[in-house]
Amino acid sequence: MIRLKQLLYEMTDQELGKIGRNIERNQFRYVGGGDNGRVYKLNDEDLVFKITTSTDEIEVARKIQNKMTEYSAFIPVYYVGDLRGVTAEYKDVIIMSNADKLPGNLKRGIDRVVEKYHQYSYEQGGEVSLFDFVDAVGLKRVDPIITNFINALRSDIEKMSIPDLDLDLDFKSENVMMWNGNMVMVDW
């Protein structure tokens, strides 16, 4: 698995072809989905692929592609593009690392932050980013792991320089998972 991850940094036609053939042969299983796409686990690989209809999601994925050390609050993304010519059916694909579910205490902690954030946003009567909320209210009595994650997320989003990403960020516990011992956004 480590070898494939290293190869994906370059994502040659040969490696992309292998993944495409696995997809065409249905060597994957459905993991989950949301409003804009579906996620599938590639058999025998520590990778998932996401088929998405969101151009905003593709834009973020392109920014973080192959920049694991630069963007620590996002799941590592190895390939963003389409698979036309490799598969007959799939296009607009993001290939990324597989992640694990959040432990219950961190999930509940994020759910509490999101609930307070939504309440604050409602009280402000308009679009408020998660980071506006944190600046105004703070993160009192929040697990330091979550606080550190939110701070890393802010830093990553500022580096991306994508207009209004902080306002459009789909921050909720279902979109945060554990990868390599750290919390990461897997959907944005």
Give the model confidence (pLDDT) of 109-119 as tens digits.
Answer: 999 999 999 99
pLDDT score for 184: 98
d(CA 153, CA 4) in angstroms, rounded, equals 27
Out of 33-37, 76-80, 172-176, least confident range:
33-37
pLDDT over 70 at 5, yes or no:
no
Out of 42-46, 58-62, 178-182, 184-188, least confident range:
42-46
- Inter-axis angle of helices 13-24 and 2-10, nearest 10: 120
Average pLDDT across the chain, whole number:
86
Most confident of 27-36, 135-144, 150-159: 150-159
Q: How confident is the model at residue 37 (pLDDT cuts 50, 70, 90)?
A: confident
d(CA 188, CA 175) in angstroms, rounded, equals 7
Q: How confident is the model at residue 167 (pLDDT cuts 50, 70, 90)?
A: very high
The pTM of the full predicted model, rounded to 2 decimals, is 0.83
Region 144-152: mean pLDDT is 97
Q: How far apart are the first and last CA of the chain?
A: 26
In angstroms, what CA-CA distances link 133 with 18, 41, 87, 127?
Answer: 45, 35, 44, 11
Residue 101: both structure tokens together: 């579910």
Region 168-177: mean pLDDT is 95
pLDDT score for 23: 66
